[in-house]
Structure 1
Amino acid sequence: MPTLKLEVFEPPAPKGRSQTVVMDSAAVEEARLQSYESGYAAGWEDATAATQDDQARISSELANNLQQMAFTFQEARAHMLKSVQPVLTQLCTQLLPPLAREVLAPVVLDTIMPHIDDLVDQPVHVVLNPAARPAVERLLSQAAGLPLVIVAEPTLGEGQAYLRLGEVEHRVDLDHAVAELTRAVHDFFEYSEKDTGHG
């Protein structure tokens, strides 16, 4: 079998020059140490750069995820508020006004009761809407047993009453309380819509 001959791609060495370099052991050790140090420094720089790149990538991903979560939270909040708004609005406009009319008599009674010992022979003066008179008159005559002077005033709302207990006067205004609550609910949803639009 013939011997295999490989082509040499290196340029031929110039004549008269030797390719052999002679170094003493200290120089060889110094070159090896220098080579190790430069390799170690290059590895350290690569590791530091890779760590910084990882930290930047993780920070970017975290910021993106937090932004998506905040956006998702805002969407969920807006959707929830949008679905609750009609219920609360109806509660304030449809349920609370009749409820205020129904509880006017017990509220008037609760206002009178702390002063009942001071009113032994004095009548309780009550000014209220004619529509609220029967319920208030019935409850006060049964519970307090005090002489009543009831004055019908059609300009008052059905959830309003003025009481004079001797020298003390009280105002019961459930209509105003319902109106304030309705306004607060309206303002809350109006602010929430503006906040969602800007957030």
Structure 2
Amino acid sequence: MAGLKLEVFATGATPTADVVVTDQAAMEDARLHAYEQGYTAGWEDATAAQVKEQAQLRADATRNIQALGFTFQEAQAHVLKALAPLLQEVVGHLLPELARESLGPTVLESLMPLAEEMAETPVTLVLNPVARPAIEALLEQATGLPIAIVEEPTLSEGQVYLRLGDSETHIDLDRATAQITAAVRGFFGITE
């Protein structure tokens, strides 16, 4: 059997490839330069990703803090709104009663220093006739004081004037109660 023979289509001589001869140092420099470029590109990508992530974290934290702030303000407003009726009751009912009960001790507290100052001069109390029994009961405890009580119906139950010689002291628990009531109402924005 005869061997198979194939036709050759090549024309002329085969071209030779250009041969580049490099030395070992130039090849190492090229590899090191490529490594540095890759390292720098990776570092820049990582830095950009970190900056982007930190910006996202700051934005999320800011949004969460704002949400907490609104939640806190809503809770505070709700608590204050719930407390308003209670404080109104305290101011409207309990405070005037406490003021009436404390009128006598307040007068006595103001009277004692004045009495010590002018032991021989009689003290004059000018008060509303309704407040007289409560004040007389307390004045019985302070025996030995020369006290004259003058009733003045134009004064409110919480007002008393203490006169000692030329000096005079004014006690007005009704006004103090009204100021406290106005302050509480003003704080809660309550109008009648």
How far apart, in 2, do the equivalents of 1:166 and 1:36 lie? 104
1:180 to partner: Cα distance = 1.1
Pairwise CA RMSD: 2.0
Q: Does 1:112 align with 2:111?
A: yes
1:20 to partner: Cα distance = 5.9
Q: Structure 1 residues 21 and 125, CA, compared in 2 at 3 Å: closer, same or farther?
A: same
| Matched letter for residue 132 of structure 2 | R
| Matched letter for residue 173 of structure 2 | L
1:26 to partner: Cα distance = 2.7
The percent identity for this pair of structures is: 53
TM-score (norm 2): 0.83
TM-score (norm 1): 0.80
1:87 to partner: Cα distance = 1.1
Task: Give a deviation string over 1:122-177, Cα, whole Å, max 9, x none.
Answer: 33211111110111122213423333322222221111101102232110111111
Task: Give a deviation string over 1:167-196, Cα, whole Å, max 9, x none.
Answer: 3211011111111111111222239xxxxx
Q: Does 1:31 align with 2:30?
A: yes
**Which protein has the bigger helix share?**
1
Q: Which residue number corresponds to residue 149 of structure 1?
A: 148
CA contact 1:127–1:150 (8 Å) conserved in 2: yes
How far apart, in 1, do the equivalents of 2:32 and 2:117 lie? 106
CA contact 1:141–1:148 (8 Å) conserved in 2: no
1:24 to partner: Cα distance = 2.7
Which secondary structure does the structure 1 equivalent of 2:148 belong to? strand
CA contact 1:92–1:182 (8 Å) conserved in 2: yes
1:27 to partner: Cα distance = 2.6
Q: Which residue number corresponds to residue 79 of structure 2?
A: 80
**May I ask how many residue pairs the two structures share in their alignment?**
177
| Matched letter for residue 129 of structure 1 | N
How far apart, in 2, do the equivalents of 1:36 and 1:118 lie? 98
Please, which runs of 5 or more residues in structure 2 have no aligned partner? Answer: 1-13
| Bigger radius of gyration among the two | 2
Which has the larger displacement, 53-62 or 118-127? 118-127
1:22 to partner: Cα distance = 3.9
Please, which runs of 5 or more residues in structure 1 have no aligned partner? Answer: 1-14, 192-199
Which secondary structure does the structure 1 equivalent of 2:140 belong to? helix
